Structure 1
């Protein structure tokens, strides 16, 4: 498996913009959010297990997962969140490992908002935190997602504190200002990762 960089950041930090930049450099990106959606699609074992654990109300009329209802439920119930994670996290991890093993680029990126919380950083050799202030997170996320400030603050509260992520990350990029500055920092790291990938081959 090639050198793998775990990329993370809180809501509104710019991690999606960063992962897209790496894709434009022809670096393979495995997105944990996409994997998380794939494992609960119709016909997947996880969807049946979720229905058994929570009840038929978690399904839409067409049999797909009612994401909004389930998300609201686990936000208000820590035990329910744990039940859901016990069902989905092992399956997500298995799929991520498989996709990382298929990477053909010099190094790979695993982008995940829960990189540290779900111990997915164990699947990587280095971690990159896209970091910004909470005020910037709230401003960006409210403009992008049409969510209320209260909802965004709730999401931030459920994620690992910014200071803890800073302690754990191998590399940190500050993304409080312009996209141009973000990309210049990513360019320097890209060259660094290319050099490291040659060493690890």
Structure 2
């Protein structure tokens, strides 16, 4: 495997490698304990422009029923009362702006849609690596996240929920994406 070192070499369209990507969250519960969870079913991709990072974009669609916290009862409650998966089967993120902070760090702003409510979110993203694999496919890896207030999207069960679960939720991602081969003319 070879490491890619120049940003221009990263330009292209990418598909998230779902086997190597983690989309997760952390919420504070009563007594300051943390509940960690993840989404197991999603699709996503990106267009990276190594010469003009501001022209890059990313998108993600998550199947809401794929939420997992390691507790079946809690997962059922999250699917029903919090995410309303019957009425809103997906969560989506579509970037609207990419701002480079330095050669490896970016602020990615986009629309996060949860329960039919769309609000802007800015994700901090760090390019953690890029390399060509044994087949010559280029892979890139990013990690990052953002802290959101779940109540902004109506993700709340009842008034006492805020007493048990903090409204701030940390969204985390570790993404590996593979560059798609260009179409033959």
What TM-score bracket applies, with the shorter chain setting the length?
Answer: under 0.3
User: Greater relative contact order (Cα 8 A, min sep 6): structure 1 or 2?
Assistant: 1
Higher helix share: 1
> TM-score normalized by structure 2?
0.26
Higher strand share: 2
